[in-house]
Amino acid sequence: MRRLKLVGRACVLFVLFVVPTAGFVKSSGMFEHPVKPGPWQPTPPLLIFANPSNIGWATHDHKPTPDELKYLYFFGVLPYTPPPAPIPPSLAEMPTTGWTLDNGALITTDSNNVLVLRPLTYGRPSLPGQGQGWRGAYWQPARTTQWQNYTLGVTVTNLGGQGSRGNATIVVGYAITRAGWAVSTSGARITIQNPSGAHIYSRAIHPAPSHRVVVKLTNQLSVTVDGASIASIPVGQVHGGIGFGVWKAAASSNLPFFTNLQVNQ
């Protein structure tokens, strides 16, 4: 009998403590609005376990680190293509192959040691006397990325007279991931731009339809036109290859040509 009384008191105590707690939970609304589960999001695969079925995530949705790329190559998910071997900065004439345009397309030059870059007309190659705007080409950018301390000489022709609104640009220190230093020549003026595109130097030169331009890239960017020293600008340690470009302000502007190229250390 006494045991029953003790059990009864315990039940009373349980009700006294549990009921208020339950009432508080109900009145607070803690469980009245359960969170609805969101859409299922698959866990991206570890790159070490990547395979052809998830190669899209491994290579596009996520940019692999150099170490992750090693795993992708090791497990055969991506075919390994060794980087192109570098080449020394030495050219005795204008190459006919190996030129990459600004849009990544490849072009070849003629066999007469002349590089002709025609701005497009409605997205298509222009005929002589047509086209306007810019067109640039860069030689073997993947293989010349470590070029430094070299000298480039080239003859720019067909510049036209002063005011023809056409110019030729020589680029040094160029790489696929960054722009280079640009030396632009018209019939009577030379301009230098840094890799950010800012004009940092400009001066008049003696007017002529053709100029021999020599650009030396070391810790200084030194420019010579027709044997006369024009500018020397500190640039620090610069790596990268070469490129050329033309600008025609109008279809009637002269189209410059590049010839007699020579590059050496």
**Where along the chain do its domains lie?**
99-264
Q: Which two tokens stand for residue 155?
A: 């003859």
Higher-scoring residue by pLDDT: 265, 44: 265
DSSP-assigned states of every residue in 68-106: HHHHHHHTTSS---PPPPP--S-BSS--SS-EEETTS-E
The CA R_g of the chain, rounded to the nearest whole Å, is 34
Sheet containing 181-185: give its strands across. 106-107, 99-101, 133-139, 241-248, 166-174, 181-185, 189-193, 199-204
* Distance, CA of 223 to CA of 6 (rounded, Å): 105
pLDDT score, position 31:
46
220, 123 in Cβ contact below 8 A? no
**What's the DSSP call for residue 178?**
B
Categorize the per-residue pLDDT at 119 as very low, low, confident or very high, splitting at 50, 70 and 90.
Answer: very high
| pLDDT above 70 for 238 | yes
Please name the residue ranges forming H helices in the chain. 2-28, 55-56, 66-74
Q: What digits encode the pLDDT tens for the residues 61-91?
A: 666 677 777 777 777 777 777 878 999 999 9
Per-residue pLDDT tens digits for 152-182: 999 999 997 766 788 999 999 999 888 999 9
**Do residues 183 and 192 make contact, with C-beta atoms less than 8 angstroms apart?**
yes
Q: What fold is seen in the domain 99-264?
A: Jelly Rolls (2.60.120)
Segment 195-224 shows an average pLDDT of: 96
CB atoms within 10 A of CB 241: 26
- Euclidean distance between CA atoms 218 and 150, whole angstroms: 7
User: What pLDDT was estimated at residue 220?
Assistant: 96
